[in-house]
Structure 1
Amino acid sequence: MPGSHSGMGLSGAGGRYFSLCALYLFVYYGFGAFSPLITQYYNSISLTGTQIGLISAVAPIVSIVAQPMWGLFCDRFQIRKTVLILTLVASGLAGLFFVGVSSFAFVFLLYLILSFFQSAVIPISDSLALGYAKKNGLQFGDIRLWGAVGFALAAFVTGLLVEQWGPSVLFYSYCLALLIAMLFLLRVPDESEETSRFRVGMLAGMRDLLRLPRYLLFLLASFCVLGAVNANNIWFSLFYQEIGGTVAGVGLAFLLFAGSEAPFMKLAGVFVRRWGLELTLLLAAVCGAARWLWYSSAPSTTFVIAMFFIQGISVGFYLATAAQFVRENTPASLQVTALAIFFSVGGGLGTMLCNLVAGWIKDSYSTLGIYLFFGIITVIGIIPLVLITYGPWKQAAPDDKVEATQ
């Protein structure tokens, strides 16, 4: 355990740290059981490719609206933990309803409801973890890496269960994992920072965030970089089979890919301390662009599996440092809001665009063309990261200075 936890039993700081890691483990286990395997469920109820693309592209619209709303609500009333408990339970139970649904209309409606509650989970969890890490002198990546472990285990284990028992098992796994995560959340402290000296209205807070150049540039970068990363979860299985892989190989690939994120999230702290947040993010984006462009050249499945660690460098580094960058470049009183907008732009708008374009490319060309597009849009996302690192906004404004302008 980190030094600040030495000598503490499970009922003390060590127990709270363990509970926070377990929260990430089970939240992402639920996501790992759901996202990579949902296409198996779609196929089992005979949805068309157009219907699958529509669900994948439109559902993020809910998060675009809901994530800032959840964030502003939490920042305004300082009830992050309560909201997270509610949304974990609600999204877990919403997942169970898929078991009895087989028509496109109902699947579409359920997915929108699920997205509404699910959209609050990651921004609020990250806000809690960032607050705890700052107070106890820890690296956020040391906590976040347990999410990568959970996602990797779920993609592999649930894949085996789906082969044995059918697609409905993924919804039971998803719900159970989120309910277990909620139980660990009860022991997680809410390290809210003192913000009574600075309270703003919801719309004013949103406006203040959008006046910060470094934050805006980072939103643009994440729109491109994370849009491709999230869309890959939907299209990778089709790509892998097109280059000669099997459905069983998809589960193994996700296990290795997502599993590689954990050690690199741990390593991200070393890179940040030596070279800074900006260069770490830039390295991650460059590796991501190279990966997608390489995929578009139709490599063999053997090489795709052998180079699994590229995901650790690109996705692991980016996710471990992105939330920390947002925290250090926005006012403390708008932390959850800033994270929510970040996730809604990258995970919502960016993913929606990438899925829409990917669907059109697949119908017109091939899945290899999809990855060429992913590579190009990630290269575009590198430009604002270069401006953040070397441009006129390379130094972050002090937090008190940021607040004083409001």
Structure 2
Amino acid sequence: MKNRTTRHLSIYYFFVFCGIGGVFPLLSVYFDQELHLSGTEIGTIMSIGPVITLLLQPIWGLICDYTRKPKTVLTATLILTGLVGMLYLLANDYLWLLFIAGFLAVFQSAIIPISDSISVSYTQKIRADYGSIRLWGALGFAFSAFFMGKISEWTGLKVIFICLAFSLLTGALLVRKMPDSGGEFQVDLRSGLRDLMKIPKFVLFIFATFLIFGPVQGNNVYFGLLIGQLGGSIVGIGAAFLVAAGTEAPFMRLCGPWIRKRGFLLVTLLAALVSCLRWFFYFLEPDVMLVYVSTIAQGFSVGLFIPAALSYVKHISPDEVTATAVSLYSAAGTGLGNWFCVFFGGLLLDAFNISAVYLFYGVMTFAGVCLLGVIMKMEKRETIVGRAEAL
């Protein structure tokens, strides 16, 4: 039974991230090459989603906490996200594109945090590694990014929206086979939020996530433009995302043992440091072949950061508000951090060039690394105090 449930979760993540991987690495390229939008227009459209995510993602967690029906909420949002994404096929006007991006984000913002909350709760219950399930999302993202890049060369970039709808509707059919959340969600919402805000480590870690994972999300938008500026093709963009996302899978597999041996925070710190070095490397505008090779670093950084950071959030949060905690964590990285990095990345792209965007990302991530170091010192101090009190 455990193996069957784990297999269903893995297949679910594969299809959901097939949809994401087929669209978002190439969406900025679609706006640039087919609709001929400016850097500021691209940055604004791509950042409206994170703004909506910032506002609504915690609310989706609260809805799940209140209704205790996360699978129903998840199914509805998957279906609606897929259908709304098809509206891109009908729009060419900048304002309509802006509206579609925001409308899409209303429902998309629920998908990942609810999925992760259900999956992490299940893996903790059966004492399994969340990373061994989540890695199938990375494989789905890599598979779709590569093949959508090749197919787009033949048919045009509009095919990516069909991929999104098909993959998410398939994911919606798989939700019913996911494990139940086991009554984990709470009803006293205001009290739960107050409890989370009273945990200094949680608040600081949320801020660190903003600084570290925001640039990761921004890279997903501007990486295709970087490769294009350095002389790469659409197929090359897909191949780069294949390597980047594909190498996440083995590191997600290794993450569980490394966390048990080294701890949550050290693993996230090392992952963030690799991301920091990668952004500074892109600032130097290296040869495009070196950029392709460097995408292997994403396997280490993102492949370790996602499961380690999520597990740490669950570890330091009260059991009765885990969905809300995960939503706040996700909103910091894929919401506020995403918006901040995409929007200001677009401004920097228009004012300077793509190198300035990655310099900005490198500085942000370095600040996040420093903040993780502060949290590690806090944990060490708490451990020393705890041992002293035990004596």
Note whether the superposition's TM-score is higher than 0.5. yes
Q: Is the aligned partner of 1:23 residue 2:6?
A: no
User: Is residue 2:120 matched to residue 1:121?
Assistant: no
Question: Which of 6, 13, 29 is the matching residue for 1:40?
Answer: 29
CA gap of 1:46–1:120, structure 2 versus 1, over 3 A, is same
Q: Is the 8 A contact 2:18 2:141 kept in 1?
A: yes
Specify every segment of 5 or more residues in structure 1 that has no aligned partner in the other structure, as ranges: 1-11, 397-406
> 1:6-405, aligned counterparts within 5 Å?
12-42=1-31, 43-194=33-184, 199-391=186-378, 395=382
What is the CA-CA distance between 1:247 and the residue it aligns to? 2.9
Asked whether the 8 Å contact 1:387–1:393 carries over to 2, the reply is: no
Q: Cα offset for 1:394?
A: 6.0
Residues 142-169 of structure 1: per-residue CA shift (max 9 Å, x gap) = 1110000000001011111211112221
| SS class of match (2:177) | coil
Distance in 2, Cα, partners of 1:214 & 1:301: 40
1:326-352 CA-to-partner distances (Å, cap 9, x unmatched) read 111101111111111111111111111
1:47/1:302 CA distance change after superposition, 3 Å: closer
State how far apart, in whole Å, the 2-side matches of 1:394 and 1:162 are.
54
> What is the alpha-carbon distance in structure 1 between the residues aligned to residue 204 and residue 50 of structure 2?
21
C-alpha distance 158-318 of structure 1, shift in aligned 2 (>3 A): same
Distance 2:205 2:132 in 1: 22
With over 3 angstroms needed to count, the CA separation of the structure-2 counterparts of 1:392 and 1:22, relative to structure 1, is closer
SS of 2:80 mapped into structure 1: helix
> Against the structure 1 CA distance between its residues 270 and 296, is the aligned structure 2 distance closer, same or farther, given a 3 Å change threshold?
same
**Which sections of structure 2, spanning at least 5 residues, go unmatched?**
384-391
One-letter amino acid of the structure 2 residue matched with residue 234 of structure 1 = V
Q: Deviations over 1:276-297 (max 9, x none)?
A: 1110001001111111111111
Query: How big is the shift at 1:264?
Result: 0.7
- 4+ runs of 1 displaced by more than 4 Å? 392-396
CA contact 2:210–2:333 (8 Å) conserved in 1: yes
Distance 1:48 1:30 in 2: 26
C-alpha separation in 1, matches of 2:73 and 2:131? 23
- Displacement of 1:318 after TM fit? 0.4
- Two-structure CA RMSD over aligned residues (Å): 1.6
CA 184–243 in structure 1, closer or farther in 2 if over 3 Å, else same? same
User: How many correspondences in the alignment?
Assistant: 382
Q: 1:312 is matched by which residue type in structure 2?
A: G
Residues 130-149 of structure 1: per-residue CA shift (max 9 Å, x gap): 11101111011011100000
- Using the size of structure 1 for normalisation, the TM-score is 0.91
Larger fraction in helix: 2
CA shift at 1:193, angstroms?
4.5
User: Residues 262 and 312 of structure 1 are in contact (CA less than 8 Å); yes or no, is this contact kept in structure 2?
Assistant: yes
Q: Given that residues 213 and 393 in structure 1 are in contact (C-alpha distance below 8 angstroms), is that contact kept between their aligned partners in structure 2?
A: no
Deviates more, 1:200-209 or 1:167-176: 200-209
Q: Quick one: distance in 1 between partners of 2:381 and 2:290?
A: 37
| Kept in 1: contact 2:61–2:114 (CA 8 A) | yes
Aligned partners of 2:382, 2:35: CA distance in 1, in Å?
52
- SS in structure 2 of the partner of residue 270 of structure 1: helix
Deviations 1:20-57 (A, max 9, x none): 00111011111001101112332323333322111112
Any idea what SS the aligned residue of 1:186 has?
A: helix
Q: Per-residue displacement from partner, 1:230-289 (whole Å, max 9, x unpaired)?
A: 000111112122233233211111110111111111111121011011100010011111
What TM-score, normalized by structure 2, do the two folds share?
0.94
- 1:301–1:51 distance in 2 versus 1, CA, 3 Å: same
Larger mean CA deviation between 29-38 and 200-209 belongs to 200-209
Cα distance in 2 for partners of 1:193, 1:378 equals 37
Distance 1:186 1:318 in 2: 28
Give me the whole-angstrom Cα distance separating, in 2, the residues matched to 1:376 and 1:293.
8
Q: Secondary structure at the match of 2:247?
A: helix
Q: 1:48 to 1:302 in 2, by over 3 A?
A: closer
Whether the 8 Å contact between 2:39 and 2:347 is mirrored in structure 1 is no
Letter in 2 for 1:366: N
Counting aligned pairs with the same residue, the percent is 36
